[in-house]
């Protein structure tokens, strides 16, 4: 939503009225209860609508009709085969423009293609070695704070860790350095992001002290840091292995480079897209592991067999050589894909599975709901890493498993995210075993990414050595 939200909302209504074909079946009467329920618990609502209306349906949410397309064929249609009929900037990702400007998540067409081409080399696997060191160093540092008997909120612990990793690896900023401490860049970034988890109706306000005003204030302060760093690096020629350094010199096929403004927007986008997603994945993984001690045993046995006294090797962390861990990661991302919804806007009217969808309609695919369809994943509520054996994976239908999206806009940070989760999980498991705090009951918050709503209180134990018995019982 931009600086004039009301005119945007009115335009949405005009677009809806101008629709030349009807919306797919669904619930299209205005309902505040439905809107509230969707904000609180979208998964059961989407699964219920899928049962009643099939893979393409409409729900009236907030002020407008929103079309949902679920299941393997729908995911493939939106992200791959008909991706060019959908824009990102005019769908609900437009809400991100206020903080992120014109980064990869909010641009389309040729501008997006060129920006992505310029950025891709920064995510090439040859840079991964540098990231392994940064992530391992930060993880070991955070693990040194823990000891058996300690109670911790694993979500908050991982979030701090992921933000430090992001600052160093993406931005080349020392989180303990003078600059970061003087301006609390991490705190400002969290302040900016809190806009996206505030009550939807409050997000429309543009008054002083509104969530929007706080977000803008944080963005202005962050701009001073980011632009300052860009001009310092340009002036001194100083470069490191961080992504900002790579973006400063990156060129596309015609020799074009990113402007300062583009670099600022891309850095902000990467910080946003890159730290919340990995934090949630680590949290949900350890939530499920605490409830499945037999899976922990298999992970520890794998570590004891394959990891030497020097710790995990770079190939073990970068390429998913630890098979048990890989299956646990895949299953975690099936049950809890952090970037759970893919918001788009249709360009032209189209037909899917016998239903017409108008031009300029809000259209979302949804990995979270698609990963919970029983005809695609049997007993979808069960955490079963063995679904993702190499054979199980190969048997999945096209579009069935989309935690990183698909097609030409697949998550650009996928390798980075996977590496980070593998490294944190491997090092944590090699030192400690975690159990859930007594009485903890998970509830899931869904904005901007899905995450444990009230954090993840856990208790730290000595590492249970595989295949020894006596692992802490699941809470």
Interaction site with ligand HEM (CB under 6 A): 79, 104-105, 116, 269-270, 273-274, 277-278, 281, 333, 337-339, 342, 403-405, 409, 411-413, 416-417, 421
Least separation in angstroms between residue 90's CB and ligand HEM is 13
Identity of the residue, 51 or 110, whose beta carbon is nearer to ligand HEM in the bound complex: 110
C-alpha to C-alpha distance for 85 and 79, rounded to whole angstroms: 10
Alpha helix segments (H runs only) across 292-336:
293-306, 314-318, 323-335
Query: Residue 317 to residues 123, 139, 216, 309, 415: CA-CA distances in angstroms?
Result: 16, 13, 38, 15, 10
Cross-strand bridge partners of residue 87 = 345
Grouping H, G, I as helix, E, B as strand and the rest as coil, residue 122 is: helix
Identity of the residue, 37 or 127, whose beta carbon is nearer to ligand HEM in the bound complex: 127
> In the block, which residue shows the tokens 């996928």?
414
Least separation in angstroms between residue 303's CB and ligand HEM is 21
Least separation in angstroms between residue 161's CB and ligand HEM is 13
Q: Which residue is nearest to ligand HEM (CB)?
A: 413
Quote the tokens at residue 368.
């979270």
Least separation in angstroms between residue 198's CB and ligand HEM is 21
Least separation in angstroms between residue 422's CB and ligand HEM is 10
Give one DSSP letter per residue of 75-111, joined into a string.
HHIIIIITGGGEESTTTGGGGGHHHH-SSGGG--HHH
Cross-strand bridge partners of residue 366 = 341
Quote the tokens at residue 381.
């509520």
Taken as a whole, the chain contains a residue count of 475
105 contacts 95 by C-beta, under 8 angstroms: no
Identity of the residue, 123 or 212, whose beta carbon is nearer to ligand HEM in the bound complex: 123
Quote the tokens at residue 264.
């600022």
Least separation in angstroms between residue 264's CB and ligand HEM is 14
Least separation in angstroms between residue 170's CB and ligand HEM is 6
Beta strands 86-87; 341-346: pairing state: antiparallel
Least separation in angstroms between residue 6's CB and ligand HEM is 26
Dmax (CA) for the chain in angstroms is: 67
Cross-strand bridge partners of residue 65 = 60
Identity of the residue, 170 or 460, whose beta carbon is nearer to ligand HEM in the bound complex: 170
Q: Report the chain's terminal Cα–Cα distance, integer Å.
A: 42
Beta strands 64-69; 362-366: pairing state: parallel
Identity of the residue, 101 or 342, whose beta carbon is nearer to ligand HEM in the bound complex: 342
Identity of the residue, 167 or 290, whose beta carbon is nearer to ligand HEM in the bound complex: 167
Least separation in angstroms between residue 322's CB and ligand HEM is 17
Identity of the residue, 274 or 385, whose beta carbon is nearer to ligand HEM in the bound complex: 274
Least separation in angstroms between residue 167's CB and ligand HEM is 12
Reported as half-sphere exposure (CB side, CA atoms, 13 A), residue 301 has a value of: 12
Identity of the residue, 233 or 344, whose beta carbon is nearer to ligand HEM in the bound complex: 344
C-alpha to C-alpha distance for 474 and 436, rounded to whole angstroms: 7
Identity of the residue, 335 or 464, whose beta carbon is nearer to ligand HEM in the bound complex: 335
Query: Residue 62 to residues 201, 210, 386, 450: CA-CA distances in angstroms?
Result: 9, 19, 40, 20
Q: Across the chain, how many H-helices and E-strands are there? A: 20, 13
Least separation in angstroms between residue 407's CB and ligand HEM is 8
Identity of the residue, 158 or 435, whose beta carbon is nearer to ligand HEM in the bound complex: 158
C-alpha to C-alpha distance for 274 and 260, rounded to whole angstroms: 21
377 contacts 102 by C-beta, under 8 angstroms: no
Identity of the residue, 102 or 302, whose beta carbon is nearer to ligand HEM in the bound complex: 102
C-alpha to C-alpha distance for 106 and 185, rounded to whole angstroms: 23
For residue 345, give every residue at least 6 positions away whose Cβ sits within 8 Å of its Cβ, in sequence order, or none: 86, 87, 90, 91, 360, 361, 362, 363
Nearest to 112 by CA among 265, 271, 268, 273: 265
Least separation in angstroms between residue 40's CB and ligand HEM is 22
Identity of the residue, 312 or 338, whose beta carbon is nearer to ligand HEM in the bound complex: 338
């Amino acid at each position: 939503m931009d600086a004039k939200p009301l005119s945007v909302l009115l335009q949405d209504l005009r677009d809806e009225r101008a629709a030349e074909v009807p919306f797919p079946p669904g619930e299209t009467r205005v309902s505040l209860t439905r809107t509230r329920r969707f904000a609180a618990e979208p998964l059961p609502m989407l699964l219920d609508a899928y049962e009643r209306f099939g893979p393409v349906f409409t729900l009236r949410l907030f002020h407008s009709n929103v079309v949902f397309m679920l299941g393997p064929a729908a995911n493939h249609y939106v992200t791959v085969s008909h991706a060019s009929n959908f824009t990102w900037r005019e769908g609900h990702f437009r809400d991100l423009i206020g903080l992120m400007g014109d980064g990869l998540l909010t641009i389309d067409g040729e501008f997006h293609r060129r920006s992505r081409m310029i950025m891709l080399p920064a995510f090439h696997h040859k840079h991964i070695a540098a990231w392994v060191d940064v992530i391992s160093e930060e993880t070991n540092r955070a693990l040194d704070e823990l000891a058996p008997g300690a109670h911790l909120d694993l979500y908050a612990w991982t979030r701090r860790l992921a933000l430090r990793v992001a600052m160093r690896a993406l931005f080349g900023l020392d989180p303990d350095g003078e600059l970061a401490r003087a301006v609390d860049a991490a705190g400002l970034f969290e302040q900016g992001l809190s806009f996206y988890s505030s009550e939807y109706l409050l997000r429309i306000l543009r008054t002083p002290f509104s969530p929007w005003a706080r977000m803008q204030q944080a963005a202005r302060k962050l701009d001073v840091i980011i632009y300052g760093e860009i001009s310092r690096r340009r002036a001194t020629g100083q470069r490191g292995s961080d992504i900002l350094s790579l973006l400063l010199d990156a060129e596309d096929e015609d020799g074009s480079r990113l402007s300062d403004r583009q670099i600022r927007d891309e850095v902000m986008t990467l910080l946003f897209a890159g730290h919340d997603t990995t934090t949630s994945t680590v949290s949900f993984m350890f939530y499920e592991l605490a409830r499945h001690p037999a899976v922990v045993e298999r992970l520890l046995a794998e570590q004891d067999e394959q990891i030497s006294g020097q710790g995990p090797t770079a190939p073990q962390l970068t390429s998913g050589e630890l098979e048990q861990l890989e299956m646990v990661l895949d299953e975690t991302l099936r049950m809890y894909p952090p970037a759970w919804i893919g918001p788009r806007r249709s360009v032209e009217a189209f037909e899917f599975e016998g239903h017409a969808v108008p031009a300029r309609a809000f259209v979302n695919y949804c990995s979270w709901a698609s990963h919970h369809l029983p005809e695609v994943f049997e007993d979808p509520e069960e955490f079963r890493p063995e679904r993702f054996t190499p054979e199980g994976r190969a048997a999945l239908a096209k579009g069935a498993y989309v935690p990183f999206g698909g097609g030409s806009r697949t998550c650009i940070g996928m390798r980075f995210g996977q590496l980070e989760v593998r490294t944190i999980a491997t090092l944590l498991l090699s030192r400690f075993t975690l159990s859930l705090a007594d009485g903890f009951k998970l509830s899931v918050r869904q904005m901007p990414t899905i995450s444990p709503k009230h954090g993840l209180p856990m208790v730290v134990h000595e590492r249970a050595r595989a295949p020894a018995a006596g692992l802490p019982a699941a809470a």
